[in-house]
Amino acid sequence: MKGKLKRFYAKALAQISKTTETSTKTVKKRKEEMLNEIIKVLKSSRSFLFIDLEGLENRGFKEIRSKLSERKVKVKVFKNKIFLLAMKKIGMKNIDEVEKYLNKPIAIVYSDKNNVFELASYVDEIYYYKKLKPGDKAPFDITIPSGPTDIPPGPMMSVFGRLKIPVQPREGRIFIMRDTVVAKQGQEISAELASLLNKLGITPLKEKPRILMGYEDGIVIDPLRLKIDYKEYESKILGAYRNVLNIASEIMIPEPDILKISMTKAFRKALNLAVEMKIISSETIDLFVRKALINALKIASILGYNVSTIAGVQQNLEISEKKEEKEEKEEEKKEEVSEEQIAEGLSALFG
């Protein structure tokens, strides 16, 4: 009997050892797969952010992921130690700074196209509604609206009564008689009220994802520095470029794109000067004729002549002037530059 018992124990121990070994190999394999996945993400990403997952409900995380996917931005959750190991494996900079933010659960938001400020602006646009917990403060006056609920009559009737919410049983459900303020702004939420609000599907707490830090080109960026008006900065850069382009065209820097603008400006100035000096040429003759006709119409009108017979001429002149103004505006619009052209233009100016 003792021999059989020993053999049984030995067999059981061997089985446990085998299972443990298999489990260890599986865990190791999963860690290696995650490490390789993180390395791939880091190598292909232009920038990334850390988002705090502490206290974030599953519904909130799904909302973040859904909103960012619309922007072609990805969100992943990795083990912090493996993430740090991946950074070390590929020799990324400022790992010690990054490690400071890996003392809590985080999600990584990353993109192969967007810079870190764009990512932060996308995340900052997201918000979601969270359930209130006992001890939370009411963000504003919370009102339970009148109408039917999905709660059957029974013990819950007394809960409504304790919270001073007028109700009646109707058609097998509790019916709230009128809109009732159950918590004033700043008031602490009791366990009973929190439970009732959750049952009614009332989630008044508006939350936003919390950015812990940003990373791009080896630079770790504090979340406060990520909060910039990206569109405003883009507008300022475009404005600065236009000013540079204007100055460059005035002093005629010998670059093809700049000389083209300089020549256009010079031609317009020369044309205006020629008209002022009454120099007649193939370029100015139309302007002289138009100006003479307009003056003739004005004089005829002042002298009391009936100019209705030549009103068509006046109308054509006005249309012609408007057309020229429109063409000038379109020309100016064509000279506006995109973000991609900024880099090319500045490079042409300053090398």
- Phi then psi dihedrals of residue 103, to 5 deg: -100, 15
Residue 265 vs residues 57, 321, 342: alpha-carbon distances, Å: 61, 19, 21
Q: What is the CATH number of domain 2-127+208-227?
A: 3.30.70.1730
Which amino acid makes up residue 278?
K
Tell me the C-alpha distance between 107 and 84, whole Å: 13
Whether the CB-CB separation of 103 and 189 falls below 8 Å is answered with: no
pTM, 2 dp? 0.57
Taking the domains of the chain in order of start, what are their residue ranges? Answer: 2-127+208-227, 142-207, 231-350
Residue 230: partners with Cβ closer than 8 Å, 6 or more residues away: 117, 118, 121
The alpha carbon dihedral of 247, 250, 251, 252 has a sign of: positive
The label of the residue with tokens 């018992």 reads: 5
Can 2-127+208-227 and 142-207 be said to share one CATH topology?
A: no
- If one compares 208 and 319, the residue with the highest pLDDT of the two is 208
Per-residue model confidence as pLDDT tens digits over 20-71:
666 677 778 888 888 999 999 999 999 999 999 988 888 888 889 999 999 9
Tell me the C-alpha distance between 256 and 245, whole Å: 12
**Cα-Cα-Cα-Cα dihedral of 123, 127, 131, 135, to 10°?**
80
Per-residue model confidence as pLDDT tens digits over 106-137:
999 999 999 999 999 899 989 888 888 899 89
For the domain with range 142-207, which CATH number is right: 3.90.950.10, 3.40.50.410, 3.90.105.20, 1.10.3720.10? Answer: 3.90.105.20
